[in-house]
């Protein structure tokens, strides 16, 4: 197997790292890419306000998730787990032990490449791994590279490859950290990483979570979920706004509800229960057991108490999974948007989409009944609020057409 190794302090990981990682996988046809966040050497002072390693590891994991190459990209904490500075030669020795027979390629930027002969134990590095250096455009840097490549080949028998990064994001980490401390710089980051930075107040960011602008609110929400759910959440935001405009609800409330509705979807049962406890959310027997029923409760609490969302948004998120009797217009809009957003694809979705824009209550009833049918088929107990939603919608429809 051909394995790329991409080390760095990732302080923080940004879009430039993502582009480089993608380019390396494609350019070198890697079977695996291992991201290796570096430990901070005790003697080398990292810039002020450098987050501790657990934060850097968490951010690199978000980046790996967003690269969306499962089975290819992975994160290794092997340098972080060792105490003190890790030499690359030692890391490569460790990886060679772990993956005998694999072909290793060490990825690096120009600066690193040009100083490779000054590293600790260059001979071991070049013996255990091919060297892959990133360039900006094909042929760019060739003069700079050539002398060093020829030197390394001659002196160490190094194997050197070049990969160009098509959509290079031109920012240094130093400048990015400065921008972040001044409340800017989000555009250079994966939203999930930016949200993580904001929520943990890293790099001197000190935004008030109750007063975020929309890109920041989205970033925070996306930082709490897996990358594969982001498209769904974006779809729900879009659909909720569209439905709100159509039915005369407040589109901005619908937008905020859409952005945050699934923000706690990936919390484990114990974390869900802890949040319910913290915010005084009472749970019935079924809710205690079914973790899927809890994310609407905890998501509503996070929206209200962390992001300062108003009562209407809290309620809409609270009821978005089961529904309930006598839902408000905004409650229905979020429930429906969740059901029919553009990424949803199931039999009958087109019919449901049409109905959602002609008779909202009938669309709701169809949706709730479909959920009940599915749950019944799977042998999952139906929550009483789901049944109450159905009965209440039937009543309302009957009253409308006596
Ligand atoms: O979070 P999403 O996946 O976007 O959608 P959602 O919030 O509607 O959650 C869907 C999940 O909730 C699905 O796994 C089924 C579950 N669910 C919805 N209604 C009921 C329910 N589970 C039980 N046990 N009873 C219900 O009435
Ligand atoms: Fe949900
Ligand atoms: Fe959802």
Condensed to tens digits (0 to 9), the pLDDT of residues 6-18 reads 999 999 999 999 9
pLDDT (0 to 100) of residue 110: 86
Which atom of ligand 1 is found nearest the CA of 262?
A: 1
CA of 81 to the centre of ligand 2 (A): 36
Ligand 1 binding pocket, CB closer than 6 Å: 262, 265, 290, 292-293, 296, 320-322, 338, 371, 375, 380-383, 386
Phi, psi of 94 (to 5 degrees): -60, -45
The best mutation among 226, 240, 321 to test binding of ligand 1, ranked by most ligand atoms within 8 Å of the C-beta, falls on 321
The best mutation among 233, 262, 292, 369 to test binding of ligand 1, ranked by most ligand atoms within 8 Å of the C-beta, falls on 292
Tokens coding 29: 């046809």
The residues placing their C-beta within 5 Å of ligand 3, an ion, are 262, 338
Per-domain boundaries in the chain: 2-164, 173-221, 229-400
Which atom of ligand 1 is found nearest the CA of 286?
A: 24
User: What is 298-334 written as a DSSP string?
Assistant: HHHHIIIIIT---HHHHHHHHTTTT--TT--HHHHHH
Ligand nearest to the CA of 337: 3
| pLDDT band at 88; cut points 50, 70, 90 | very high
H/E element, 130: strand 129-135
C-beta of residue 365 within 8 angstroms of C-beta of residue 397: yes
pLDDT (0 to 100) of residue 126: 97
CA of 300 to the centre of ligand 3 (A): 13
C-beta of residue 260 within 8 angstroms of C-beta of residue 302: yes
Long-range Cβ contact pairs of 174-180 (< 8 A, separation 24 or more): 174/47, 176/12, 176/14, 177/11, 177/12, 177/47, 177/49, 177/203, 177/204, 180/12, 180/204, 180/205
| pLDDT band at 44; cut points 50, 70, 90 | low
| pLDDT band at 78; cut points 50, 70, 90 | very high
C-alpha Rg value of the chain to the nearest Å: 26
CATH superfamily label, 229-400: Hypothetical protein af1432 (1.10.3210.10)
Q: Which CATH number fits domain 2-164: 1.20.120.1730, 2.102.10.10, 3.40.50.620, 3.40.50.1100?
A: 3.40.50.620
Helix (H, G, I), strand (E, B) or coil at 375: helix
pLDDT (0 to 100) of residue 390: 98
| pLDDT band at 123; cut points 50, 70, 90 | very high
CA of 321 to the centre of ligand 1 (A): 5
Of 29, 24, 33, 63, the closest CA to residue 164 belongs to 24
Q: How far is Cα of residue 122 from the mean position of the Cα atoms in its chain?
A: 36
């Amino acid at each position: 197997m051909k394995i790329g190794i991409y080390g760095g302090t990732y302080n923080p990981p940004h879009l430039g790292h993502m582009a480089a990682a993608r380019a390396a996988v494609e350019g070198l046809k890697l079977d695996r890419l291992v991201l290796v966040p570096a430990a901070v050497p005790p003697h080398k002072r990292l810039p002020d306000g450098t987050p501790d390693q657990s934060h850097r590891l968490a951010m690199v994991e978000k980046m790996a998730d967003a690269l969306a190459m499962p089975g290819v990209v992975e994160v290794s904490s092997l340098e972080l787990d060792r105490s003190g500075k890790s030499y690359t030669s030692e890391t490569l020795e460790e990886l060679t032990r772990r993956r005998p027979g694999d072909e290793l390629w060490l990825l690096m930027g120009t600066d690193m490449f040009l100083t490779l002969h000054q590293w600790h134990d260059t001979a071991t590095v070049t013996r255990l791994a091919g060297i892959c250096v990133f360039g900006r455009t094909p042929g760019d840097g060739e003069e700079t590279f050539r002398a060093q490549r020829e030197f390394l080949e001659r002196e160490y028998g190094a194997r050197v490859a070049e990969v160009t990064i098509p959509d290079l994001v031109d920012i240094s980490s130093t400048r990015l950290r400065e921008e972040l401390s001044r409340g800017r710089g989000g555009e250079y980051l994966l939203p999930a990483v930016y949200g993580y930075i904001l929520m943990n107040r890293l790099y001197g960011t000190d935004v008030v979570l109750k007063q975020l602008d929309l890109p920041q609110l989205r970033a925070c929400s996306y930082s709490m979920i897996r990358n594969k759910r982001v498209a769904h959440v974006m779809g729900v935001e879009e659909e909720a706004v569209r439905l709100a405009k159509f039915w005369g609800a407040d589109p901005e409330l619908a937008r905020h509800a859409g952005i945050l509705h699934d923000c706690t979807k990936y919390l484990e049962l114990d974390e869900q229960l802890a949040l319910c406890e913290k915010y005084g959310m009472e749970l019935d027997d079924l809710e205690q057991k079914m973790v899927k029923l809890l994310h609407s409760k905890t998501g509503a609490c996070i929206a209200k108490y962390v992001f300062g969302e108003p009562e209407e948004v809290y309620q809409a998120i609270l009821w978005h999974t089961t529904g309930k009797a006598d839902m408000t217009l905004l409650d229905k809009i979020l429930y429906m948007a969740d059901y029919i957003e553009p990424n949803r694809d199931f039999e009958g979705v087109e019919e449901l989409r049409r109905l959602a824009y002609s008779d909202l209550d009938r669309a709701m009833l169809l949706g709730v009944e479909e959920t009940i049918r599915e749950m019944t088929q799977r042998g999952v107990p139906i929550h009483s609020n789901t049944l109450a939603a159905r009965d209440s919608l039937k009543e309302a429809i009957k009253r409308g057409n006596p």
